[in-house]
Structure 1
Amino acid sequence: MEKRQVNVLLVEDDEVDVMNVQRAFKRKHIDHPLYVASNGIDALTMLRGRGVDSSAVPSNRRLVLLDINMPKMNGLEFLQELRQDEDLRSTPVVVLTTSDADQDRLEAYRLNVAGYILKPATFATFAEVMASLNQYWALCEIP
């Protein structure tokens, strides 16, 4: 099977969590481009191609890893805006959060997320979660 690149946008305000994703990608040899936005507003700008040249996320084969609790525009607000945008509404989103609140989970699924994953407590488990996601998206047909 041909390995196809996925442009991953991590929407996360916690620098430690950003570093954990970067470390997990490196440890598990996940070589997809990783873009980072610290809130929903910046993420929408990057997805719409209005960011600085190096921060705009290519428009093909995109996946968003989304935290819920962020400043300016939280993850659920981001999802609402994303799903209302004709050009972005089909972008696959996986929530990766510490929020175990039923209302967050239900609202995220109402907004058509591809998955809702609680951040594991240990880095080793976190790296395995990233590897599993990578294997899953390798099988999916993302436009």
Structure 2
Amino acid sequence: MRRSSAYPLLIVEDNDEDFEILEWALQKLSINTPTLRCKDGDEALDLLYQRGKYSDVQQYPRPAIILLDLNLTLMDGHEVLSHIKRDDTLKMIPVIVWTTSSDPKDIEICFQEGANSYILKPMTVEKLLEAVEMLNHYWFGVVMLPDNAGT
């Protein structure tokens, strides 16, 4: 077993502003977890399979946790989640859906596809900081992952 903070957080987010706000919150809270960003589902899968420009395992280790937006261009978040959770080499990586959709169908489908959590993107700075702090405390402070979750 290992602590999830030993490996990076992968943020799959196509919206630059949403990503910058999330990065700001991580810095504001002095959360030192390394982060990687992919702007679409295809890029995320390239990183997870360590292929193409992500073949340098030292520079791009498999993440401990994936923060996944549902509303991505090209391959959407549902497709990415489904692909990850169907693959024996990836399914151990926890996937947290981070989205603006409160549609009960989206929530149900994500959990059916294997999501580990579903979080609505907060609409205020205070709520964002609170959510990021809780996410950090739980996933990078409390949770223990199996050794092969990020390898």
TM-score, structure 2 as length reference: 0.86
Q: Which residue of 2 aligns with 1:91?
A: 93
Residue 142 of structure 2 is matched in structure 1 by 139
SS in 1 for 2:96: strand
More relative contact order, 1 or 2 (CA 8 Å, 6+ apart): 2
1:47-86 mapped onto 2 (5 Å cutoff) = 47-53=48-54, 57-59=60-62, 62-86=64-88
Q: Which runs of 5+ in 2 are unaligned?
A: 147-151
Q: How big is each residue's C-alpha offset from its partner over 1:95-129, in whole Å with a ceiling of 9 and x where there is no partner?
A: 11001111111010011211111111112211221
C-alpha contact (below 8 Å) 2:6/2:64 kept by paired residues = no
Q: Which residue of 2 aligns with 1:22?
A: 23
Q: What is the rounded CA distance, in whole Å, between the counterparts of 1:47 and 1:26 in structure 2?
A: 25
Secondary structure of the 1:76 match is helix
Q: What SS does the aligned partner of 1:9 have?
A: strand
Task: Please state how far the C-alpha of 1:6 moved relative to its aligned partner.
Answer: 3.7
Amino acid at match of 1:100: S
Distance of 2:145 and 2:77 partners within structure 1: 22
| Contiguous gaps of at least 5 residues in structure 1 | none
1:34 aligned to 2:11?
no
Distance 1:79 1:141 in 2: 21
Instruction: Give the letter aligned to residue 124 of structure 1.
Output: E
Number of residue equivalences = 141
RMSD: 2.0
Tell whether the 8 Å contact from 1:9 to 1:57 is kept in structure 2 after alignment: no
Q: After TM superposition, give the deviation of residue 5 of structure 1 in Å.
A: 2.9
Question: How much identity, in percent, do the aligned residues show?
Answer: 31
Is the contact made by 1:8 and 1:63 (CA closer than 8 Å) also made in structure 2?
Answer: yes
The C-alpha deviation readout for 1:38-71, integer Å capped at 9, x for no partner, is: 1111101111111425796413x61000100111
